[in-house]
Chain A
């Protein structure tokens, strides 16, 4: 049995279809990422899976518990870290964990020890009795993750766990997520709009756009599935007049363009193109000053499957947010 089975899940808000007939499954012990821009439907999907929002149609099973028919069963086995901070700033770190432990029915005799060990694992033990409102964003996110673990869940949902954090805190959270899976074999489903986060953390990634799944596979396979997405960038000295035509005819090259001093060659196989390029330069007595191969990124993958760049979507989302807030 899979940890998560999503079966034709749809959510409509009036005319707006936030999640449109989405189906996928997540294996036990997997780190599964939902990658997409703001407003793609990731949070709505997570809210349906965590019983916070009822689906319009379709269903899902979490460790065999149906999100429509057995909501209590679902809630008992989930640890959820919502996008917004939900720990109480007027309580201490320990009090926040204690109250959640009580809500999950963690026995009193093991509670204190468990809370201390969880706080120690995220290096917050010395801040145990400090009010959460005095915490930095990174500390608070670590506390939130700890709170989601207080009842030893089988599955963790993390909704954009590193949004708004500085680079050091992001790395810290990534390490936490990795070590969590290694230590306890827990299944993790996370949403993100950071490509590097999805690339480094996830075993499989589902690309979400306009409420639909555009693609789903491992990061490597997704990148491999994009044709001609590697770019060989090179600079030369002593180029003959027909040099650009000759470069365009190299093996695996689908196009050659000049960007000031540099030449960009779009290639289906970067290393093979570099080898052919070096042979050609030697034969035509052209000096190669610099050569680099840029691999396919998830942004290229997103562009390939959705027809738009993820960065553009994020910027558009930000602009819309600014306009809305005005």
Chain B
């Protein structure tokens, strides 16, 4: 392989890349906007959800429960209490979405409470929105547990306590999403700087000029993938650092972690650009890469665990995630940014990405046409 020819192609692409700020910005802006908007939109706790409270008991006990609700309203502010006198009216308002849940204290609540006759609170929830209903249910359950706590504790404790130890400080969603957004940035640069630019150059006849020279097929593929990798690597590193600063990742400038980040971003860049090149290697129509951009994005980004854990996926989606280079990129980047792991947390992902790249590059060389 003549490296001078490979570097000539890389030089050409890099010169064009640096002369096109729009290309650079477009590959950075979307992932950053995604990180900020999705990170803050999905990451917050539920606050101020309207909950209807119907007190049909009007007793000392029911007043105590109402005070507990007021306490939550004033403290964690999970919900805002709307006092109702009619249960049917409250349920009607729940159905039309005016309130997100209804807590009913039945007329016999205090009587059953004092007779130890399993008094019941009724919580009717709007389960069309799982996020809100699970948060409200969690709060109502906490209140119920508090009411149920015995006034005098037994000397012989038989209940099993579960002590939860969190090995990382609380991880905001924006930090969780950073790995996905960085992977997205690498993918977009691979798509625009690799796929779309390649097809556009081909349709404008620029490739004809290179095919007329003595350059070999392997050198052409190496030059095009090399240039795309460099572009994707730069985007990925900028996103890691800028996104890390926005998300508040501690010690983002740690040199050892930066080295590991470079390794992961480089391996991911080669994998994604070679995948993109394999998809585009026989394409001539400049509309095709634009048309399949959304589909590829959907197929690669969402099954990777970038926004939701893969353990929640059905079987077929898990298979996509297994062969998806995004999955290993997201896993390795998340290990580095959120968990601050060392080489032990990324080496397997890097190996998989390298193996994937070898397969993709081999496919590119086999399918690349040296003729028009």
Stretch of B204-212, B342-350, B353-361 lying at the A interface: B204-212
- Could you tell me if B209 and A91 are in contact, using CB atoms closer than 8 angstroms? no
- Could you tell me if B5 and A103 are in contact, using CB atoms closer than 8 angstroms? yes
Give the CA-CA distance A91 to B204 in the complex, in Å: 14
Give the CA-CA distance A53 to B372 in the complex, in Å: 6
With a cutoff of 8 Å between Cβ atoms, the chain A residues found around residue B214 in the complex are 72, 75-76, 103-105
Chain A, range 44-101, C-beta contacts under 8 Å to B: 47, 50-54, 72, 75-76, 78, 80, 82, 84-88, 90-91, 95, 99-100
- Could you tell me if B209 and A50 are in contact, using CB atoms closer than 8 angstroms? no
- Could you tell me if A75 and B206 are in contact, using CB atoms closer than 8 angstroms? no
The yes or no answer to A102 lying at the interface (CB within 8 A) is: yes
Q: Which residue of A lies closest to B209 (CB)?
A: A86
- Could you tell me if B213 and A82 are in contact, using CB atoms closer than 8 angstroms? no
- Could you tell me if A91 and B206 are in contact, using CB atoms closer than 8 angstroms? no
With a cutoff of 8 Å between Cβ atoms, the chain B residues found around residue A105 in the complex are 2, 4-5, 214
Given contacts A47-B372, A102-B5, A103-B5, contact A84 B212 (CB under 8 A): no
Give the CA-CA distance A78 to B2 in the complex, in Å: 19
Give the CA-CA distance A74 to B215 in the complex, in Å: 12
- Could you tell me if B213 and A84 are in contact, using CB atoms closer than 8 angstroms? no
Give the CA-CA distance A87 to B4 in the complex, in Å: 19
Contact flags (1/0) for B1-42 with A, using CB distance below 8 Å?
A: 010110111011001100110000000000000000000000
With a cutoff of 8 Å between Cβ atoms, the chain B residues found around residue A88 in the complex are 12, 16, 206
B163: shortest Cβ distance to chain A, in Å?
A: 62
Chain A, range 95-149, C-beta contacts under 8 Å to B: 95, 99-100, 102-105, 131, 147
Given contacts A52-B371, A103-B210, A105-B2, contact A91 B205 (CB under 8 A): no
B333: shortest Cβ distance to chain A, in Å?
A: 32
- Could you tell me if A82 and B16 are in contact, using CB atoms closer than 8 angstroms? no
With a cutoff of 8 Å between Cβ atoms, the chain B residues found around residue A131 in the complex are 19
- Could you tell me if B371 and A99 are in contact, using CB atoms closer than 8 angstroms? no
Q: Which residue of A lies closest to B5 (CB)?
A: A103
- Could you tell me if B372 and A52 are in contact, using CB atoms closer than 8 angstroms? yes
Give the CA-CA distance A88 to B16 in the complex, in Å: 9
Classify chain A's interface size.
Answer: 20 to 34
- Could you tell me if B12 and A99 are in contact, using CB atoms closer than 8 angstroms? yes
Q: Which residue of A lies closest to B12 (CB)?
A: A99
- Could you tell me if A102 and B7 are in contact, using CB atoms closer than 8 angstroms? yes
Chain A, range 196-227, C-beta contacts under 8 Å to B: none
Q: Which residue of B lies closest to A144 (CB)?
A: B209
Give the CA-CA distance A47 to B212 in the complex, in Å: 9
Given contacts A52-B371, A53-B371, contact A95 B5 (CB under 8 A): no
Give the CA-CA distance A122 to B255 in the complex, in Å: 52
- Could you tell me if A90 and B19 are in contact, using CB atoms closer than 8 angstroms? yes
Q: Which residue of B lies closest to A87 (CB)?
A: B209
With a cutoff of 8 Å between Cβ atoms, the chain A residues found around residue B208 in the complex are 52, 82, 84, 86
Give the CA-CA distance A86 to B336 in the complex, in Å: 45
Q: Which residue of A lies closest to B19 (CB)?
A: A90
- Could you tell me if B206 and A86 are in contact, using CB atoms closer than 8 angstroms? yes
With a cutoff of 8 Å between Cβ atoms, the chain A residues found around residue B5 in the complex are 102-103, 105
With a cutoff of 8 Å between Cβ atoms, the chain A residues found around residue B206 in the complex are 86-88
Q: Which residue of A lies closest to B220 (CB)?
A: A103
Give the CA-CA distance A132 to B19 in the complex, in Å: 13
Give the CA-CA distance A76 to B214 in the complex, in Å: 6
- Could you tell me if B212 and A75 are in contact, using CB atoms closer than 8 angstroms? yes
B6: shortest Cβ distance to chain A, in Å?
A: 10
Give the CA-CA distance A178 to B76 in the complex, in Å: 88
Q: Which residue of B lies closest to A84 (CB)?
A: B205
B270: shortest Cβ distance to chain A, in Å?
A: 23
A171: shortest Cβ distance to chain B, in Å?
A: 25
- Could you tell me if B371 and A54 are in contact, using CB atoms closer than 8 angstroms? yes
Give the CA-CA distance A79 to B11 in the complex, in Å: 22
- Could you tell me if A102 and B4 are in contact, using CB atoms closer than 8 angstroms? yes
With a cutoff of 8 Å between Cβ atoms, the chain B residues found around residue A80 in the complex are 212
Given contacts A52-B372, A82-B205, contact A91 B15 (CB under 8 A): yes
Of the candidates A53, A76, A84, the one having the most CB atoms from chain B within 10 angstroms of its own CB is A84
Give the CA-CA distance A26 to B44 in the complex, in Å: 78
Given contacts A88-B12, A91-B15, A95-B15, contact A100 B213 (CB under 8 A): yes
Q: Which residue of B lies closest to A95 (CB)?
A: B15
Of the candidates A51, A76, A86, A95, the one having the most CB atoms from chain B within 10 angstroms of its own CB is A86
B219: shortest Cβ distance to chain A, in Å?
A: 9
Given contacts A52-B371, A85-B205, A86-B205, contact A91 B212 (CB under 8 A): no
With a cutoff of 8 Å between Cβ atoms, the chain A residues found around residue B19 in the complex are 90, 131
Give the CA-CA distance A95 to B2 in the complex, in Å: 20
B196: shortest Cβ distance to chain A, in Å?
A: 14
- Could you tell me if B212 and A78 are in contact, using CB atoms closer than 8 angstroms? yes
Give the CA-CA distance A84 to B16 in the complex, in Å: 20
A110: shortest Cβ distance to chain B, in Å?
A: 14
Given contacts A80-B212, A91-B16, A105-B2, contact A99 B205 (CB under 8 A): no
Give the CA-CA distance A131 to B18 in the complex, in Å: 14
Q: Which residue of A lies closest to B201 (CB)?
A: A88
B interface, CB within 8 angstroms of A? 2, 4-5, 7-9, 11-12, 15-16, 19-20, 204-206, 208-216, 371-372
| Complex A-B: 13 CB contacts under 8 Å | A52-B211, A52-B212, A52-B371, A75-B213, A76-B214, A80-B212, A86-B209, A90-B15, A90-B20, A102-B5, A102-B8, A102-B11, A105-B5
The 10 closest A-B pairs by CB, nearest first: A86-B209, A102-B8, A84-B205, A103-B213, A75-B214, A90-B16, A80-B212, A52-B372, A99-B8, A99-B12
A interface, CB within 8 angstroms of B? 47, 50-54, 72, 75-76, 78, 80, 82, 84-88, 90-91, 95, 99-100, 102-105, 131, 147
User: Known pairs A72-B216, A88-B16, A102-B7. 18 more at Cβ < 8 A?
Assistant: A51-B212, A52-B208, A72-B214, A75-B212, A86-B205, A86-B208, A86-B209, A90-B16, A90-B19, A99-B12, A100-B209, A102-B4, A102-B5, A103-B8, A103-B213, A103-B215, A105-B4, A131-B19
